[in-house]
Amino acid sequence: MFTHAICRLPGTNFAAGLTTADLGAPDYREALSQHAAYQRALASLGLTVKVLPASLEFPDSTFVEDTAVLFQNLAVFSRPGAESRFGEVELIKPEILTYFSRYAQIAAPGTLDGGDICEAGNHFFIGVSQRTNQDGAAQLSYLLGKEGCTSAFIDIRETPGLLHLKSGIAYLGNRTLVVANALANHPAFDGFQCIIAEEADQYATNCILVNGTVILPSGYPKLKKQIEEAGFAVMPLAMSEFQKMDGGLSCLSLRFQL
């Protein structure tokens, strides 16, 4: 159960951020509207939502998930894989430290984006990607191991369409995963029930379980039905403007329990 979330508003220069998508430039007013709906959704599910002001210095900084991995009372600050995003960690660190009493930092030469980390209870799937390297993954695995957690590495560098691991998987609790078809047979998922999203629904595998409800990008009725048939309540949200900038639902908040 989550009690809190930290979000950051997109700035007027949001379209200047990094993207590999070929979907056109985001509409800023629509991005603000979708972000506001996201905040309301989290609040409606019982979270206290802290919304930080936009940062024009860092156009990608609305994607706060990449700055830290939060587990119980430990905050692990990332070292982003894109150099232009390094400053985002220091920008948000004081806010995170108002909630967390213990912290660690991924160090060079390691790189790590929070979007590559999927928590499944006390087990973590850690993506090795274009943004998270082997050294950064190993540092996080070591830190989590000291907290009594296990982890498995999943190399997605040759998997088309996946910038981050959580572009292709989500954990819904009860040992249930939503998995993109491109990762469907990965041995790391042995022992989990997998809801396999067809290729056309890959973007929507970036969904989030929040206090018993799965928030899912709108426009993916087949995957919505699959998740509902697995026994989960689903809340669709429009995410079109963030998709244009390689962003998903998980990217827009740091969610935690106090």
Q: Which residues are catalytic?
A: 164, 251
Rounded Cα distance between 131 and 137, Å, is 10
State the burial class of residue 221 (Cβ atoms within 10 Å of its Cβ: 0-12, 13-18, 19+): exposed
Give the separation between CA 162 and CA 115, rounded to whole angstroms: 11
Whole-angstrom CA distances from 20 to 2, 46, 134, 179, 244 are 31, 34, 22, 21, 9
* Residue at 8: amino acid letter: R
Strand-strand pairing, 4-8 and 48-52: parallel
Contact 112, 79 (CB under 8 A): yes
Burial 112-128 (b: 16+ CB within 10 A, else e): bbbbbbbebeebbbbbb
